[in-house]
Structure 1
Amino acid sequence: MFGKLKEKLLNAASKITEKIYKKGEKQDEEEKKIIAKVEEKKENLKVQPKKEIIDEKKEISFFDRFKITRTIKKVIKKEVVILEEDIEDILEELEIELLEADVALEVVERLLEEIKNELVGKKISADDNVEEIVLNAIKNAIRNILSQEYIDIEEIIQKNKKLGKPTVIVFVGINGTGKTTTIAKLAYKLKNKGYKVVLAAGDTFRAGAIEQLEEHAKRIGVKVIKHQPGADSAAVIYDAIQHAKARGIDVVLADTAGRQATNINLMEEIKKVVRVTKPDLVIFVGDALTGNDAVYQAKEFDEAVGIDGVILTKIDADAKGGAALSIGYAIGKPILYLGVGQRYEDLIEFSPDIIIRNIFEETQKYSTEREF
């Protein structure tokens, strides 16, 4: 997962770390020359080598280089100050590589600026772990990119329960992102937490969409409100809301037809849905595998109906990581959940640390609870 993004960022971290070491070594050599000149007339002068120097001509992979910088003890005698010129060429190279990993341009620019802010002016002493400092700087930069205002869905549900009304969540997106399955996963999660849930089959356009939602509902154990294929989507969702009010149901999760923003008729339909049903949340469901396309789609839906948050699906199969890193910052809306598998349990609440761990560490078993 995120293999390409991981490779590019670790490569940059390794290069920056080596450059700082070399800068320290150069300072040490200059100092030794000065000392030698002062002490050259003294008897029994002995100059001991400070450390072993790795053959710079030997070609090694970035993984080997990264391993070396992690394991070999290096000593910087004098304090080294990181200047912008020390890392500028590496960040320029990283910019191109991140774009190749499907990270959106505005996110790449912000990320590089954040890395500069974290590193430039930092003083490195002999006791510092340079590699750890560089990696932490990159992690902090990523965390700043991913940190959007958090939306607590359960808090919204509890607030509406006190007011005696259901929480209405409408899901939007294009075809093939896993929207209907994601609705089922969220219904499963909320039901297991004790909430009463009803599904609204608002996708009356796609053949088999109503039947697909019904099958999920049967497996989960919740009810579906539906009309005939081709019916008015807004009317279906409105009826589901009235059903929830009448029966004290806590949450209405409304499916809608997948659509491209260029489809004027369908976009007008989703605008009508939002206008008529007045949902508490409009959630965009995007496919992480589509990279920058997911970002563009989210922007278009946000402009059309005003989305409140994002669920990214197929994260477990994403080799690049561009969408996960980009979408929240690019549209200024939080990622709420990540789809990490095919089971109903495989929907996890988002936190920046989930992405950071999966970029810099080995893939680990996901927790279905929110991690901080």
Structure 2
Amino acid sequence: MFESLKKKFSRTSEKLEEELIEEAEKEDNLQEESGKKFSFFSFGRKKEEKVEEDESNLLPQAEDIVEEESVDEAEEEIVEETSEDESVEEVKEEKPGLLARLRGSSAPEEEVEEEIPEEDEVEEEPQKEEKSHFWSRNKDEDKSADGEATGGMFSFVREKTIQEKHVEDILFELEMELLQGDVAMEVATEVVESVKNDLVGKKIKRSNDITEYTFMALKNAVSDIISIPGKSMTEMIEAKKAEGEPLVVMFVGINGTGKTTTIGKLANYYMKKGYTPVIAASDTFRAGAIEQVTYHADNVGVKIIKHKKGSDPAAVAYDAVEHAKAQGKELVLIDTAGRMQTNTNLMDEMKKIKRVSKPDLVIFVGDALTGNDATEQAKKFNEAIDIDGVILTKADADSKGGASLSIGYVIKKPIMFLGMGQGYDDIKEYDSEWMLNQLFSDDEAELEMTE
């Protein structure tokens, strides 16, 4: 999920690091040091381990001694296995080659000697190195198993401060990329302003500091965007149950977003929690719609209230509510006709259903893959009927993440559920902390644990 957003965030960190390191190099304010360079996504996981690793770098000689001792032991075993008729001189000749092989060198000893440059060439090497950028020197280094680079750690001789000039172009580029990723304009602007305010003025000593500060600035900005307060549907069911009333939920949205399937998923979800739902087939404009919602109701074993095609949809919703009250059922799920937000007549019909059934929740169902379109649809429905929350379908297939990041913030209403697949069990109550983990962790095992 959200691979596109992850890449945009990571690139922002990399570009800021390159900008500052290049400037420091020109100022002769940069030096390489031993240690691991943390990747952007490992920072949340590795923050506590960082101190321990930095301390271990203070004793590099001890590690070298251990490594040399293990190599020497291996060499002694090889010497013992050589045949008796081999001379000691032949073994000595082999040792350097064996040592090189044991230390990972694939070139034989003679080839290594041939590659040693002339004295004149040795003098020219530092000049070439001075012309290359520090940050590019280790850019293609392999990464270790824990996702950290094996080289490329730098520190500044004199502490640097992040200034507005360092982030201006980089954040403008981030804003453009967010807009291209279907993030709403006001959300992209808010993220960029928040990151700028967090970064400018930060004092940095090491290149890892840049990565950490950018990681935290982006994470804080996104956290504020996606954390829209609101009660969960489960809490509301319990509150209504205490009053002896069912929770009435009305679903709205355009055709093709997965609204009817989502109703089937929710009926299944709450049945497994011990509640008894009832479904109202209030999309009476199409006979196929009645058949579709009936199919889902039968599959999950839920009672459905339906009338003939062309019947008054508000009457169907009313009957379903009365049935739930009479039978002591805790949840009424009202399906409505999919309609474009620009169709005035159908929007008026939807308002009538709301007046008659008096729902406790009006939920907009949008397709996460449509990005900005889903956000614009939600705005129009909210203006027409005042929705209370959002369910986004197909979130598991959403690589951009624009709708998931934008929709709640734009209409100031919470995302309540996410559709995560085709099965009836593939629905998840929305959790902002889980969403942050999706956006700011590249550890698949960690993500699986949070699901």
Unaligned runs of 5+ in 1: 32-48
| Deviation readout 1:96-135 (Å, 9 max, x if unpaired) | 1111111111111111011112211222234963212211
Q: CA deviation at 1:67?
A: 6.8
Counterpart in the other structure of 1:157: 237
Report the CA distance shift for 1:30/1:156 in structure 2 as closer, same or farther (over 3 A). Answer: closer
Residue 241 (structure 1) aligned to one of 321, 328, 346:
321
- Measure, in 2, the Cα distance between the counterparts of 1:227 and 1:369: 45
Report the CA distance between 1:7 and its aligned residue: 2.1
Contact 2:248-2:331 at 8 Å conserved across structures: yes
Structure 2 counterpart of 1:111, from 176, 191, 195: 191
Match of 1:102 among 179, 182, 191: 182
Shift of 1:281: 0.4
Q: 1:260 to 1:83 in 2, by over 3 A?
A: same
What is the 5 A alignment of 1:137-286? 137-286=217-366
Equivalent residue, structure 1, for 2:132: 55
Counterpart residue type for residue 312 of structure 2: D
User: Deviations along 1:237-293, whole A, 9 cap, x unmatched?
Assistant: 110000000000000011100001111111001011111111100000000111111
Q: CA RMSD in A?
A: 3.0
Out of 356, 361, 365, which is 2:436 matched to?
356
Assess if the C-alpha contact under 8 Å between 1:150 and 1:334 holds in 2.
yes
Determine what percentage of the aligned residue pairs are the same residue: 51
Q: Structure 1 residues 55 and 344, CA, compared in 2 at 3 Å: closer, same or farther?
A: farther
Distance in 1 (alpha carbons) for counterparts of 2:303 and 2:406: 36
Distance 1:369 1:193, change over 3 A: farther
Once the two structures are superposed, what CA deviation does each residue of 1:17-39 show, in whole Å capped at 9, x if it has no partner? 222334444555399xxxxxxxx
Aligned-residue offset at 1:55: 3.4
Q: Which has the higher helix share?
A: 2
What CA deviation, in whole Å up to 9, does each residue of 1:128-150 have, x standing for no partner? 63212211211111111111113
The code of the aligned residue for 2:6 comes to K
Shift of 1:16: 1.3
Aligned residues of 2:275 and 2:330 also touching (Cα < 8 A): yes
C-alpha spacing 1:83/1:273, structure 2 compared with 1 (3 Å):
same
With over 3 angstroms needed to count, the CA separation of the structure-2 counterparts of 1:368 and 1:159, relative to structure 1, is farther
Q: Once the 2 structures are TM-superposed, how far is the Cα of residue 178 of structure 1 from its aligned partner? A: 0.1
Distance 1:365 1:281 in 2: 36
2:203 pairs, out of 102, 123, 137, with 123
Partner amino acid, structure 2, of 1:147 = S
Secondary structure of 2:261's aligned partner: helix
The farther-off stretch of 172-181 and 124-133 is 124-133
Q: 1:295 aligned to 2:375?
A: yes
**Equivalent residue number for residue 3 of structure 1:** 3
Judge which range, 334-343 or 124-133, deviates more: 124-133
Q: CA deviation at 1:82?
A: 1.3
Report if aligned partners of 2:22, 2:135 keep a CA contact under 8 Å in 1.
no
| Structure exhibiting the larger radius of gyration computed from Cα positions | 2
Compared CA separation, residues 142 and 167, structure 1 to 2 (3 A): same
Aligned residues: 350
Match of 1:332 among 412, 427, 444: 412
Q: Please name the residue that 2:388 is paired with.
A: 308
Is residue 2:173 matched to residue 1:93?
yes
What displacement does 1:358 show? 2.8
TM-score normalised to structure 1 length: 0.86
Deviation at 1:355, TM superposition (A): 3.1
1 CA distance for matches of 2:133 and 2:325?
A: 72
Partner Cα separation in structure 1 for residue 254 and residue 441 of structure 2: 32
Hey, what's the Cα distance between the residues in 2 that align with 1:30 and 1:99?
35
Once the 2 structures are TM-superposed, how far is the Cα of residue 297 of structure 1 from its aligned partner?
0.3
Relative to structure 1, is the Cα distance of residues 153 and 86 closer, same or farther in structure 2, using a 3 angstrom cutoff?
A: same
Shift of the alpha carbon at 1:74?
A: 1.6
Q: Which amino acid aligns with 1:247?
A: Q
Opposite residue 181 of structure 1, the aligned amino acid is T
Deviations 1:208-258 (A, max 9, x none): 111111111111111001111111111101100000000000000111000
